[in-house]
Amino acid sequence: MGRESYLLEGRRVTVGDLLEADYLQVGDKLTFERPRRGEQHHAEVAANGKVKLPDGQLFRSPSRAAIAAVGEGSFDGWHAWTLDDGRTLDQLRQQLLDEAAKQASEAPIQTEARSELFTGAERHEHLKRARELADAGKPLTLTVREFVGWWGAQRRGYLITNQIEAELSNHSLTTLPNFEKVHFDSAVQLVTTTPKEEASVDEEAPPSPLTADKPDFDDEDESETRLTVGNLPSALSDVISVPPDATYEQAITLMVINDYSQLPVISGRSLRGAVTWESIARARHAKPDAMFSDAIVPAREVSYDHDLIDILPGLAEFEFVLVRDQTQKVAGIVTASDVAAAYGSLASPFFLIGELDQRLRRVITRNFELSEVQSHCDPQGQRGIGSFDDLSIGDYQRVLENPAFWGQLGWPLDRKLFGNRLDEIRVIRNDLMHFNPDPLPDDAIQKIRNMIKLLREYGA
């Protein structure tokens, strides 16, 4: 396996990779200096590709080693630990990535069509340039759709998300806001994960507004896959508001011409509340000459990265929440109808997958004995398949791809083409079950519908 695999496999570079590539040697001394605290911490490179502290503790992650050495705080160990010649682990990592990109660019060009916008080597150059811009305080801004397109992706599946996070980590980059937690067409910036001077100053230094405070914990961390408030289109789409000294006429006009049911009341960056059709009616009903301030009611606010499911009780009571972005600015509004639409778009594919699963199981149940399916799908008996209900879509695929089983069906269809389409649907199903926040492409939904239609005709 060549070094270019560090790029093409989309995984995080490790200290072990630096050892294997002879950028580090076993026993190399590492130093983490904190001048403002008058502290100096030491470690060395162990034979197993880990960072070894003087007390014998071993860490795969340089960041965790730095935290353990200090006993508290949050550090990017790739920038914190330096060799005797002053080079950081991150500098060695970048050299390895540069060499990998060079080797990858010199490799023979594949004849098959390329689905990615950039090759691994080209993407490395774009990420490297993004890092330079971030270090200069001029972070690259692009939409999530454009960003994941660098990897040839049309949505944020869990596999591509893990690859993206790994390659970002290799360049000490992250997105602000988190590209997983906002809508697909929201804008994000590529920023560094730690300040440039982190290796020489302690964590009390004021963070840069263009720097994320998330330390790099390497591949010991797992990607989160959940629906957040920011995944809804209205959450970060700018918000129309009125000041506290507005008039009823101003508020009503804005609500009518924009078809809004509520407006936030904001003074500078301070949220004063909101006005709604109901609050305006109540204020004027109680007092015909009521001041505009009498119609202002409290408004609940949440962060864009808040779990969507957690705001449902509040929506049931208030019918809307205001959303703050990564800078704590009120940037959008989410209503009960927004959430209903989001969950509705997610629910339909789940129902289709459920029907497909039932019909595939019914075909296998009606045409084959459980014992022969067990021996084919679990010959060692390790999975404990006790009934047809224990079968997975992978098991259905294994059974129906088998020429003997397929022959028993007697369907006038091509087994390999059927199996290929079932494999495509298996991938779609697995992506869906990881709760990808982006809607499935129309062609993916149609593939499921077509398979259900086929099974209704042949497998009834």
Query: Given this model, what pLDDT does residue 205 score?
Result: 39
Query: Given this model, what pLDDT does residue 120 score?
Result: 81
- CATH architecture of the domain with residue range 231-328: Roll (3.10)
User: Do 360 and 263 touch, CB atoms closer than 8 A?
Assistant: no
Please state, in angstroms and rounded to a whole number, the distance separating the CA atoms of residues 173 and 222.
Answer: 16
Residue 177, preceding peptide bond in cis (omega within 30° of 0) = yes
| Helix (H) or strand (E) segment spanning residue 278 | helix 277-286
Please state, in angstroms and rounded to a whole number, the distance separating the CA atoms of residues 310 and 440.
Answer: 24
Query: Given this model, what pLDDT does residue 198 score?
Result: 40
Please report, for residues 154, 345, 356, the alpha-carbon distance to residue 441 in angstroms, rounded to integers and kept in the order given: 8, 12, 18
Is the pTM above the cut of 0.85? no
Q: In this structure, which amino acid lies at residue 205? A: A
3-state class percentages of the chain: helix first, strand second, coil last, to nearest 5: 50, 15, 40
Please state, in angstroms and rounded to a whole number, the distance separating the CA atoms of residues 5 and 7.
Answer: 5
Query: Given this model, what pLDDT does residue 344 score?
Result: 76
Query: Given this model, what pLDDT does residue 108 score?
Result: 59
Strand, helix or coil at 30?
strand
Query: Given this model, what pLDDT does residue 204 score?
Result: 40
Which parts of the chain register pLDDT below 70?
1-9, 107-117, 194-226, 435-436, 460
Residues of the chain with CATH 3.10.580.10: 231-328
Query: Given this model, what pLDDT does residue 103 score?
Result: 81
Query: Given this model, what pLDDT does residue 225 score?
Result: 55
Please report, for residues 16, 111, 294, 337, 425, the alpha-carbon distance to residue 7 in angstroms, rounded to integers and kept in the order given: 15, 20, 60, 43, 28
Please state, in angstroms and rounded to a whole number, the distance separating the CA atoms of residues 360 and 418.
Answer: 12
**pLDDT tens digit sequence for 234-277:** 998 888 999 999 999 999 999 999 999 999 999 988 999 999 99
Query: Given this model, what pLDDT does residue 4 score?
Result: 47
Q: Look up residue 219 and give its DSSP letter.
A: G
